[in-house]
Amino acid sequence: VQLQASGGGLVQAGGSLRLACAASGRTFSNYAMGWFRQAPGKEREFVAAISRNDKNTYYADSVKGRFTISRDNAKNTVYLQMNNLKPEDTAVYYCAAKMIVVTTTEKYDYWGRGTLVTVSS
C-alpha cells in the first residue's frame, strides 16, 4: 500500500485543518488506518485510528473532542479533521495502514511520508 498524506500547513491557534491520506496499491477496505505525529525533539505518538468499516474510532486523550478521524472507502482516503488547534499540535503527521485489525500502537504495516502541521500562538 502506498500512502500519500496532504493538507498540512500553517494555522493560528484555534484554527482548523483537514488532513487527507490517499491510499493506492491494495484493497483499501482491508486496512485499518491510523494517524500518528512527531513533534520536534519528541518521539512519534499515536493520534487517532479507525477500523476497516469505520465503525470503531480511537483517539489519544490529547486530541479527544478536537480531532475526528473518518474514511471514505470508495475514495481510498482517510481524513483527520483537526479543530481548535493548539501550538502543541505542531508536528509532522503520518498516516499508516494495518491489515485487518485496528490498533493504537505503532504496529502498522505501511506508513506515508508525513505532512507538516504548524500551529502558531
Q: What is the pLDDT along the chain (121 residues), one digit of tens a residue?
A: 999 999 999 999 999 999 999 999 889 999 999 999 999 999 999 999 999 998 999 999 999 999 999 999 999 999 999 999 999 999 999 999 999 888 889 999 999 999 999 999 9
pLDDT at 39: 97
Those residues whose C-beta lies under 8 Å from the C-beta of residue 20, and which sit 6 or more positions away, are 5, 6, 7, 77, 78, 79
Amino acid at 93: Y
d(CA 36, CA 77): 16
